[in-house]
Amino acid sequence: MPDVVVVGSGPNGLAAAVILAKAGLSVEVFEAEFTAGGGSRTAELTLPGFQHDVCAGAHPMALASPFFRAFDLAAHGVELLTPEASYGHPMDGGTAAVAWRDLERTAEGLGRDGATWRALFEPLVQHWESVVDLAMSDLRRPPKDLLTAIRFGLRTLEQGSPLWNTRFRDDAAAALLTGVATHAITPPRRVPAAGAGLLLGTLAHAGGWAIPRGGSQAIPNALIAELERLGGQVHTGHRIDSLGQFDDARAVVLDLAPAELLRIAGHRLPDRYVKRLRAFRYGGAACKVDFALSGPVPWQADGLDRAGTLHLVGTRAEAMAAERAVAAGQHAERPYVLSIQPGVVDPTRAPQGQHTFYTYAHVPNGSTRDISETIIAQVERFAPGFRDLILAEHVYTAAEMPAHNANYIGGDISAGAMTLRQFAFRPTARWNPYATPLPGVYLCSSSTPPGPGVHGMSGLHAARHVLRQRFGVTADPLELLREP
The predicted-structure confidence for 308-344, as pLDDT tens digits, reads as follows 999 999 999 999 999 999 999 999 999 999 999 999 9
d(CA 350, CA 47): 9
Closest CA to 133 of 445, 476, 455, 372: 455
- The residues that bridge with 392 in the sheet, in sequence order, are 292
Q: Would residue 298 be called left, alpha or beta, if left means φ above 0 and alpha means ψ between -120 and 50 degrees?
A: beta
3-state secondary structure of 19: helix
pTM to 2 decimal places: 0.96
Q: How far from 332 is each of 93, 279, 323, 326, 380, CA to CA, in Å? A: 22, 27, 8, 7, 17
Cβ neighbours of residue 47 under 8 Å, at least 6 residues apart? 292, 391, 392
d(CA 207, CA 102): 9
Could you tell me if 164 and 181 are in contact, meaning their C-beta atoms sit under 8 angstroms apart? no
Torsion angle of alpha carbons 41, 42, 45, 46, nearest 10°?
Answer: 160
pLDDT on residue 484: 81
Could you tell me if 86 and 78 are in contact, meaning their C-beta atoms sit under 8 angstroms apart? no
d(CA 250, CA 211): 37
Torsion angle of alpha carbons 294, 299, 302, 306, nearest 10°?
Answer: -50
Helix axes 114-126, 171-181, angle to 10 degrees: 40
pLDDT on residue 109: 97
67 Cα distance to chain centroid: 15
Closest CA to 310 of 92, 94, 102, 90: 90
List the helix and strand counts (H, then E) for the chain.
16, 16
pLDDT on residue 304: 98
pLDDT on residue 424: 82
Cβ neighbours of residue 44 under 8 Å, at least 6 residues apart? 50, 51, 52
3-state secondary structure of 43: strand
pLDDT on residue 420: 86
- The residues that bridge with 287 in the sheet, in sequence order, are 361
What angle (nearest 5°) sits at the alpha carbon of residue 132, between those of residues 477 and 340? 110
Q: Would residue 381 be called left, alpha or beta, if left means φ above 0 and alpha means ψ between -120 and 50 degrees?
A: alpha
* pLDDT under 70: residue ranges of the chain: none
Cβ neighbours of residue 179 under 8 Å, at least 6 residues apart? 87, 89, 311, 313, 319, 336
Q: How far from 461 is each of 19, 64, 144, 442, CA to CA, in Å? A: 10, 16, 17, 10
pLDDT on residue 130: 97
Secondary-structure breakdown of the chain: helix, strand, coil percentages, each rounded to the nearest 5:
45, 15, 40
CA atoms within 13 A on the CB side of 149: 12
Could you tell me if 220 and 37 are in contact, meaning their C-beta atoms sit under 8 angstroms apart? yes
What angle (nearest 5°) sits at the alpha carbon of residue 213, between those of residues 22 and 37? 45
Q: In 66-104, which positions are buried (b, 16+ CB within 10 angstroms) versus exposed (e)?
A: bbbbbbebeebebebebbbbbbbbbbeeeebbbbbbebe
3-state secondary structure of 53: strand
The amino acid at residue 90 is P
Burial class (CB in 10 A: 0-12, 13-18, 19+), 349: buried
3-state secondary structure of 85: strand
